[in-house]
Amino acid sequence: MTDTLDPDLLRRMHAYWRAANYLTVGQIYLRDNPMLEEPLKREHIKHRLLGHWGTTTGLNFIYTHLNRAIVQRDLNMIYVMGPGHGGPGPVAHTYLEGSYTEIYPRIDRSKAGMRELFRQFSWPYGIPSHVAPETPGSIHEGGELGYSLSHAFGAAYDNPELIVACVVGDGEAETGALATSWHSNKFLNPVTDGAVLPILHLNGFKIANPTVLARIGDDDLRDLMRGYGYDPHFVEGHEPEAMHQAFAAALDTCLDAIRQIQKEAREESADQAKLPRWPMIVFRSPKGWTGPKVVDGKPVEGTWRAHQVPLSKFETDEHVKQLEDWMKSYNAHELFDEEGRFREEFASLAPTGQRRMGMNPHANGGLLLKPLHMPHFAQFAEDVKTPGDHKAEMTRVLGRFLREVMRQNMRSFRVFGPDETASNRLEAIYEASPKTWLAEYEAVDEDLAPDGRVMEVLSEHQCQGWLEGYLLTGRHGFFSCYEAFIHIIDSMFNQHAKWLKTTRKMEWRPPIASLNYLLSSHVWHQDHNGFSHQDPGFIDHVANKKSEIVRIYLPPDTNCLLSVADHCLRSRHYVNVIIAGKQPDWQWLDIESAVRHCTAGAGIWEWAGRGGDDPDVVMACAGDAPTVEVLAAVMLLREYVPDIRIRVVNVVDLMSLETPDEHPHGMDDDRFDDLFTKDKPVVFAFHGYPGIVHKLTYRRHNHDNFHVRGYKEEGTTTTALDMMVLNNMDRFQLALDVINRVPRFAGEREKATQRYWADIQRHKLYVSEHGWDLPEVRDWQWKAEDAN
Amino acid sequence: MTDTLDPDLLRRMHAYWRAANYLTVGQIYLRDNPMLEEPLKREHIKHRLLGHWGTTTGLNFIYTHLNRAIVQRDLNMIYVMGPGHGGPGPVAHTYLEGSYTEIYPRIDRSKAGMRELFRQFSWPYGIPSHVAPETPGSIHEGGELGYSLSHAFGAAYDNPELIVACVVGDGEAETGALATSWHSNKFLNPVTDGAVLPILHLNGFKIANPTVLARIGDDDLRDLMRGYGYDPHFVEGHEPEAMHQAFAAALDTCLDAIRQIQKEAREESADQAKLPRWPMIVFRSPKGWTGPKVVDGKPVEGTWRAHQVPLSKFETDEHVKQLEDWMKSYNAHELFDEEGRFREEFASLAPTGQRRMGMNPHANGGLLLKPLHMPHFAQFAEDVKTPGDHKAEMTRVLGRFLREVMRQNMRSFRVFGPDETASNRLEAIYEASPKTWLAEYEAVDEDLAPDGRVMEVLSEHQCQGWLEGYLLTGRHGFFSCYEAFIHIIDSMFNQHAKWLKTTRKMEWRPPIASLNYLLSSHVWHQDHNGFSHQDPGFIDHVANKKSEIVRIYLPPDTNCLLSVADHCLRSRHYVNVIIAGKQPDWQWLDIESAVRHCTAGAGIWEWAGRGGDDPDVVMACAGDAPTVEVLAAVMLLREYVPDIRIRVVNVVDLMSLETPDEHPHGMDDDRFDDLFTKDKPVVFAFHGYPGIVHKLTYRRHNHDNFHVRGYKEEGTTTTALDMMVLNNMDRFQLALDVINRVPRFAGEREKATQRYWADIQRHKLYVSEHGWDLPEVRDWQWKAEDAN
């Protein structure tokens, strides 16, 4: 046994841990009699017992030890708890250190406060059973597992003085997101970034099963951690005194190693940094440590039975007595005074002020958030003299804007992407900063550097997790991704959206920067990769979330994209989804018009329609590719039925289609009727699955006249126009839709139908003969005409 | 250099590889002049060049070597290619071995066939650029990366004679799903399952970046692979002859090791099996191997520039010449005769018949599929004498049915779950078979065995990937998951749905068994875990897919669940989503009624309504919890407005709400009108987000009268009834909705509103006082009454 801790410190730390464990049991079990001043009775115990005991004492143990290190070394440290179901642990610890009461004065440091602390836990109108936004010091929602290390690294980037202690649960370690996130070390610069100290907590069991990493033996586990690039330090056992000494020694070793790595690295410049072998801890402790060893004749401590509530069914006195004995084993009266206050002898072990992990501002990023320095986006504008006078690659232009944002915010803005930044044509960013890379180099590498700031790894999980950690600690970011594969992080998006929704109402957590997605290489521009790369459903997924925190933008051209991106980067506490293609395509609006259009969210494109205030039909479009197709249809219709009166409406801000009571961007009925009329047919070409347009508009007066075309899951390797044809959103179909819906063209319908079939036949013949080989019919040009 | 291959075999294998490489280049580049019989000209080259060269020659190399092993050892082997963007590779190889022409006779073994082979690749109305359902021998769609090893293991389970060679790409290896799937070895029994041979293909670069695993050095990589439990064998280089010998030697070593492991294990019984250290290969070869070394002065072979099309821009003759030289370097005339036929000298190296990897029936599972032996589900039915006469736990009963399915299909049916089988109360299954576990054991373990058949790992990705691999090779399965966390596999579901959609039209791929999901611990039964565990959006995600392959069921009680589950297990080529709670809840239908109801998909519950054919209002419900709430509202309304005429409609099969032209289960308008009327208010309580009901019904006559309640993202830790209250779907709200919408109760509205507020106040008071502690108002009982 090492003797890192002198006997008195050991005694006090052990008491501190016991106090946290006592408060943990109390939260799970008690509704009254918090200090056990009277004999425990059934009526003191909650009737429905909800919480997770198994992991919590381990989390508490680590918290106690991190406190010692923070005080002794004056560390700036936050604590990410992967096994977030151990919610009572950080609540107990932040209560002991005083953070909790500062934030929630109702839960004061008294017997009454302790009673409230116990009652509120996992209780209606109380607090969640998992680590949650409500938990001081947390940037990591419990519940869904797998993102702790990504969050921890995200927090550490560009925070050179910060150490993020991160407990990885052994159940969590089986998830895909976690399994790959160990490699985050290859993307962390020891000079300009902080450190992450992973603590793999092996307590052997999940809900009902052993865990893989607890059952592969120390040799394989050591190899695995070394394979991931770490230097593992093992702490194993169950006898508290020995465990305290062993953990303290391991922690000191690791913190010394971190200090040494940083010291050596920081003697060189950031661009000279090498990948160090960072330390990590493997911590084996019994599941449900210090809890009941046996219940009803079955082993509990050290088994999966300790996962949630080890003792339940209090119908008989036996379990009541066993709970009482268990709680008394912590000697609460030695720990808390007669008023229920944590005794100073132990309380004084905690750090103070913002060094307390419950009060560290890095775990409450809104406190640290500074607005980005923003270049004016108009300087990157496309010069559009008349609509459709040239083509441009939307995202390539956006890349120049992002380059300048990067240049002006070199320590607070990062761009993330799963190996797709260049593929999405944002590579101008590299002129401001290359990509982060701490692993080995080869001579042919380009745009890579140890101090690069563009984060690329082929894992959407990692990109999302890093970005979340970066945002939650008060910085800004931008995530570009192939549209189809953003579904990989559907579930992570859910959890982040929940975090934003919950914290929006919490005054002590100021808003953070929005999470900005650019979805490119989208469904209409994946004609070459084909069906596996085509899926516009993230729109539907996002639209289900609370309207107060989600925004979906479908800019029709480059200048609109610039305006939208600028708006998103300045916004707070949203998830912004921007969908924009990368292929050269027609440009419509000059920059002033684009700003006006995007500010309105949706508007009539007078120059594209004809016939003024009394249209025969409204042709609506949302998305760059559908906009091109609608305008092509307008040109066909000019020819087919020259006297037609068409109104073209373009929708940039999808949520503007909703009513204002459903979404803050929703337009009121009058404005909706002004755009879409109350009674004229509306032929709507939509970027994604068409159903959502119906979902958003079903309350509108004119809804029954809405006819929506969109992606209907007909994808393959074919030309861009043929993708439209397969999904019945091509110009020929749209023109036919219009003629079929305008009553005064009833006489034209048969002819129009025949012409449609002829057009489609000609198209199919063309494609089968020429494939990609000649400029296809899509390569037309919009021709303005005098409005009637 | 080893000499595993004698000189002549080496020469012929090298020729075979060159032939595959030649066909690869041809597919990417040529539209004509396939044998280069005339000097290459611009017009022979496709104008748009789409494909991935970089990974393909490595895949081809491995295919050639696997062929040798299959022939020499008479192996039953399939080949899973993680880097599925290397689509031209398996197309080339299956063409060389004859499989391709047998399936697609148009692409025959002639010059004309070769020309077609080249032209069709990545071409409109041709074939995708990635490995796809169209590719013979594939069970693994290219495109999205990360699932190869899970698929490979899924294929190997219960196929003791099968060896699945699985190439893991080094880009793919960065994904979360792949990173955790290495641990699949802990779930593979060497006695009863086949073997997986992972081949980690390090070619160093992704689209535009180096890969992590290629840049951590051999020591870390060896440690990583050993940490994952494998015995890695390294093959590294670029000089073909040495590489052939080295790879052949490594492959022989690995196959010997597999044979030895299986031989030893199979001397014991399956329940004595131990986790062996399976062999794997680390294969380092240059990206774009054998391609242009330098293009326009920049290095290409061995860099990311070789990822897609290394030579493009054929405006000048220089590149045309370079392409011609490159293609000529393979000496096609030595490989193919003057008719374009692969010379027998080399063709004879391939396996024959079903030993060819393009023809192995395991890669075309529908060929091997046998129906499950099915117990009759009625024997597990709840005895419901009158509706609402007792409570039961739906999923617990389902567990008994699944137990019998398992017992009767012990080598062709598996159940998968992310550590939630017992939590979802399906644990009766363990009576038929425990959970699979090959790692270490402890004395306290229960329901674990090396030959268990229930697959539990805390990774939804793994569960999904294994199950897909199992189904695609012709077996049956069932996946139970917490509803909220099924979003983790949204993207995998997408890809599988795409596979089903595409193969549905391919005659040579017969249908496979459906992928069956049970989503339990659902949004209304996660009151204790709270917001992080509440999300019913998978419904919306699935409903976007092609109607011909998706089914969504919301059984209102146990007997309906049994009927639905039976139907799903017998079905083919669908994704079936079943959503059912696990908490004790009221039972409504006897088993005969349940079967009739589920067969109809939706129906009027006469016994629950009152007033016969002329209702004032239709109260509709879909989902177990909303059904309870609607019936509670009916009881309240009986009291509030005794003369009300209510029709109760329950919807089991969500897609029945659509029109028949949108979904095969859709009901026609007459039937829809019969259920929902043409003009009466419909108050609809829905399990998920309400918008989808509008989306599915917007074309119906009565749609404007639909008023849908559902989950609106108001989740927390609170009682089940309070969850309803927070989302405005509680009985009080539903009763108020009804009164507010029935014209003849206009005079009641003010009173009803006041009563509503009083009810809600009482409820809130109750919850804040009692929390979970007393039986809440939900614990009521349905009381039948004589219909009016």
Structure token pair of residue A428: 């101008």
A709-737 mean pLDDT? 94
So what's the pLDDT on residue A786? 55
Structure token pair of residue A770: 């020429």
Do B444 and A303 lie within an 8 Å CB cutoff? yes
- DSSP conformation class of A660: T
Which chain A residues are Cβ-neighbours of B175 within 8 angstroms? 176, 180, 458-459, 461
Q: Nearest to residue A377, comparing CAs of A516, A558, A553?
A: A558
So what's the pLDDT on residue A205? 96
A759-778 mean pLDDT? 77
Which chain A residues are Cβ-neighbours of B122 within 8 angstroms? 528, 717
pLDDT at B786 over 60: no
Q: Is residue B399 part of a domain?
A: yes
Q: Which amino acid is at B766?
A: Y
Q: Nearest to residue B261, comparing CAs of B70, B71, B438?
A: B438
Q: Give chain A's mean pLDDT.
A: 95
B699-709 mean pLDDT? 95
So what's the pLDDT on residue B27? 98
pLDDT confidence bin for B768, thresholds 50/70/90: confident
Distance CA A123, CA B644 (A): 38
Residue B327 shares a structural domain with residue B431: no
A231 touches chain B (CB under 8 A): no
Structure token pair of residue B390: 């007792």
pLDDT tens across A558-616, in order? 999 999 999 999 999 999 999 999 999 999 999 999 999 999 999 999 999 988 789 99
Dihedral (CA of B252, B255, B260, B263) sign: negative
Q: Is residue A596 part of a domain?
A: no
Cα of B433 vs its chain's centroid, Å: 24
So what's the pLDDT on residue A774? 60
- DSSP conformation class of A534: -
B516 exposed, middle or buried (CB, 10 Å; 0-12, 13-18, 19+)? buried
Distance CA B776, CA B766 (A): 8
- B762 to chain A, closest Cα gap in Å: 15
- DSSP conformation class of A663: -
| Complex confidence, ipTM | 0.97
Q: Is residue A159 part of a domain?
A: yes
Domain of B662: which CATH number? 3.40.50.920
A522-545 mean pLDDT? 93
Residue B746 shares a structural domain with residue B667: yes
pLDDT at A362 over 50: yes
Q: Give chain B's mean pLDDT.
A: 95
Domain of B421: which CATH number? 3.40.50.970
Do A528 and B210 lie within an 8 Å CB cutoff? no
B467-478 mean pLDDT? 98
Cα of A290 vs its chain's centroid, Å: 36
B708 touches chain A (CB under 8 A): no
pLDDT confidence bin for A788, thresholds 50/70/90: very low
Residue B354 shares a structural domain with residue B432: no
Point out the least confidently predicted range of B229-238, B309-318, B370-379, B704-713. Answer: B309-318
Q: Nearest to residue A91, comparing CAs of A154, A26, A34, A46?
A: A26
pLDDT tens across A384-420, in order? 999 999 999 999 999 999 999 999 999 999 999 999 9
Backbone angles phi, psi at A612, to 5 degrees: 65, -135
- DSSP conformation class of A653: B
B228 touches chain A (CB under 8 A): yes
- Taking the CB of residue A744, how many other CB atoms lie within 10 A of it? 11
Do A209 and B129 lie within an 8 Å CB cutoff? no
pLDDT tens across A440-468, in order? 999 999 999 999 999 999 999 999 999 99
Rg (CA), chain A: 30
Q: Is residue B776 part of a domain?
A: no
Q: How many domains does chain B have?
A: 3
Distance CA B207, CA A306 (A): 47
Do B537 and A544 lie within an 8 Å CB cutoff? yes
H/E stretch holding B624: helix B624-640
Residue numbers of the domain that contains B731:
602-770
B231 touches chain A (CB under 8 A): no
pLDDT confidence bin for B779, thresholds 50/70/90: low
The partner residue sitting opposite A124, judged by closest CB among B183, B495, B719, is B719
Residue A608 shares a structural domain with residue A551: no
pLDDT at A773 over 80: no
Q: Is residue B787 part of a domain?
A: no
pLDDT tens across B81-96, in order? 999 999 999 999 999 9
So what's the pLDDT on residue B373? 98
Residue B288 shares a structural domain with residue B192: yes
So what's the pLDDT on residue A640? 94
A179-183 mean pLDDT? 98
A216 touches chain B (CB under 8 A): yes
So what's the pLDDT on residue A779? 62
A476-495 mean pLDDT? 98
pLDDT tens across A370-379, in order? 999 999 999 9
Residue A228 shares a structural domain with residue A339: yes
pLDDT tens across B17-51, in order? 999 999 999 999 999 999 999 999 999 999 889 99
Q: Is residue A784 part of a domain?
A: no
The partner residue sitting opposite B122, judged by closest CB among A435, A717, A768, is A717
Do B180 and A183 lie within an 8 Å CB cutoff? no
H/E stretch holding B592: helix B591-600
Q: Is residue B370 part of a domain?
A: no
So what's the pLDDT on residue B193? 98
Do A217 and B458 lie within an 8 Å CB cutoff? no
User: Chain A: residue nearest B30 by CA?
Assistant: A773
pLDDT tens across B454-463, in order? 999 999 999 9
- Taking the CB of residue A596, how many other CB atoms lie within 10 A of it? 12
A317-333 mean pLDDT? 96
So what's the pLDDT on residue A526? 87
Residue A203 shares a structural domain with residue A101: yes
Q: Is residue A372 part of a domain?
A: no
Rounded (5°) CA angle A495-A149-B85: 80
User: Chain B: residue nearest A455 by CA?
Assistant: B209
Distance CA A116, CA B643 (A): 48
So what's the pLDDT on residue A525? 87
pLDDT at B323 over 90: yes
Residue A354 shares a structural domain with residue A217: yes
pLDDT confidence bin for B788, thresholds 50/70/90: very low
Residue A344 shares a structural domain with residue A441: no
So what's the pLDDT on residue A782? 85
pLDDT at B776 over 70: no
Residue A508 shares a structural domain with residue A612: no
H/E stretch holding A517: strand A515-520
C-beta of residue A484 within 8 angstroms of C-beta of residue A166: no
Cα of B412 vs its chain's centroid, Å: 18
Per-window interface: B 672-691 vs A, CB < 8 A: 689, 691
Distance CA A204, CA A213 (A): 8
C-beta of residue A544 within 8 angstroms of C-beta of residue B689: yes
Residue A667 shares a structural domain with residue A619: yes
C-beta of residue B484 within 8 angstroms of C-beta of residue B535: yes
Residue A127 shares a structural domain with residue A14: yes
Q: Where are the beta strands (DSSP E) in A629-737?
A: 646-651, 682-686, 706-709
Do B458 and A171 lie within an 8 Å CB cutoff? yes
* Helix B7-29 and helix B240-266, axial crossing angle in degrees, nearest 10: 110
pLDDT tens across A44-91, in order? 999 889 999 999 999 999 999 999 999 999 999 999 999 999 999 999
pLDDT confidence bin for B777, thresholds 50/70/90: low
Structure token pair of residue B751: 């009173």
pLDDT at B787 over 80: no
Cα of A544 vs its chain's centroid, Å: 15
C-beta of residue A480 within 8 angstroms of C-beta of residue A425: no
So what's the pLDDT on residue A777? 54
Q: Can you spell out the DSSP letters for B687-723? A: SS-THHHHHHHTTSTTGGGEEEE---S---S--HHHH
Distance CA A270, CA A442 (A): 19
Backbone angles phi, psi at B611, to 5 degrees: 105, 5
pLDDT at A787 over 50: no
Cβ partners under 8 Å of residue A633, min gap 6: A619, A731, A732, A734, A735, A738
pLDDT tens across B400-440, in order? 999 999 999 999 999 999 999 999 999 999 999 999 999 99
Per-window interface: A 409-438 vs B, CB < 8 A: 419-423, 435, 437
